[in-house]
Amino acid sequence: MSEQDIKQKIDQLSEELESHNYSYYVLSQPTISDYEFDMKLKELMELEAKYPQFAHDNSPTKRVGGDITKNFQTVMHDYPMLSLSNSYSKDEIVDFITRTEKLIEGKCVFVCELKYDGVAIGIKYRNGQFYQAVTRGDGQKGDDVSANVKTIRAVPLTLKPGDFPESFEIRGEIVLPKSKFEILNEEMRAKGEMTYANPRNTASGTLKLQDSSIVAKRGLDSFLYGIYSPTKMAQGHYESVLKAGSWGFKSPDPKKKMIAQCNTIDEIMDFINYWDLERAHLDFDIDGIVIKVDDYNQQEQLGYTAKSPRWAIAYKFKAEQAVTQLNKVTFQVGRTGAITPVANLEPVQLAGTTVKRASLHNADIIEKLDVRESDYVFVEKGGEIIPKIVGVDLGQRSPDSVPFEYAKVCPECGTKLIRREGEAQHYCPNETGCKPQIIGRIQHFISRRAMDIEGLGEETIVQLYNEGLIQSLVDLYRLEEGQLLPLERMAKKSVDNLLKGVEDSKKQPFERVLFALGIRYVGETVAKKLAKYFKSIDAIQQATLEQIEDVPEIGPVIALSVHEYLNNPIHQEQLNQLKEFGLQMEIHEDEKSSNSLNGYTFVISGVFENHSRDEIKALIEANGGKNVGSISGKTNYVVAGEGMGPSKRAKAEKLEIPIISESDLLEMIDQQ
Q: Residues with catalytic annotation?
A: 115
Q: Is 219 left (phi over 0), alpha (psi -120 to 50) or beta?
A: left
User: Phi/psi zone of residue 215: left (φ > 0), alpha (ψ -120 to 50 degrees), beta?
Assistant: alpha
CA gap 555, 208 in Å, rounded: 14
Task: Decide: 480 and 502 in contact? Cβ < 8 Å.
Answer: no
Can you tell me the distance from the alpha carbon of 270 to that of 272, in angstroms, rounded to the nearest whole number? 5
Overall residue count recorded for the chain in this entry: 672
| Nearest C-alpha neighbor of 13 from the set 147, 46, 668 | 46
Q: Are 266 and 92 in contact (CB under 8 A)?
A: no
* Alpha-carbon 281 to chain mean position: 20
Residue 611 CB neighbours (<10 A): 15
448 in Cβ contact with 454 (< 8 Å): no
For residue 167, how far is the Cα from the chain centroid?
Answer: 33
Separation between Cα atoms, residue 514 and residue 585, nearest integer Å: 8
Instruction: List Cα–Cα distances, 345 to 360, 379, 381, 404, 586, in angstroms.
Output: 12, 10, 14, 16, 49
The number of C-alpha atoms within 13 Å of 493 and in the hemisphere containing its C-beta is 0
Contact between residue 635 and residue 628 where contact means Cβ atoms under 8 Å apart = yes
d(CA 16, CA 23) in angstroms, rounded, equals 11
Cα separation, 296 vs 538, whole angstroms: 67
Burial of 69 (0-12, 13-18, 19+ CB in 10 A): middle
Q: Is residue 113 helix, strand or coil?
A: strand
In order of 29, 114, 289, 387, the CA distances from 384 in angstroms are 30, 18, 18, 8
Distance CA 543, CA 612 (A): 35
Q: Are 139 and 184 in contact (CB under 8 A)?
A: no
The DSSP letter of residue 536 is B
Helix axes 3-25, 34-50, angle to 10 degrees: 140
Question: Do residues 252 and 76 make contact, with C-beta atoms less than 8 angstroms apart?
Answer: no
- Determine the residue type at 351: A
Residue 660, classed as helix, strand or coil, is strand
Q: Is 22 exposed, middle or buried (0-12, 13-18, 19+ CB in 10 A)?
A: buried
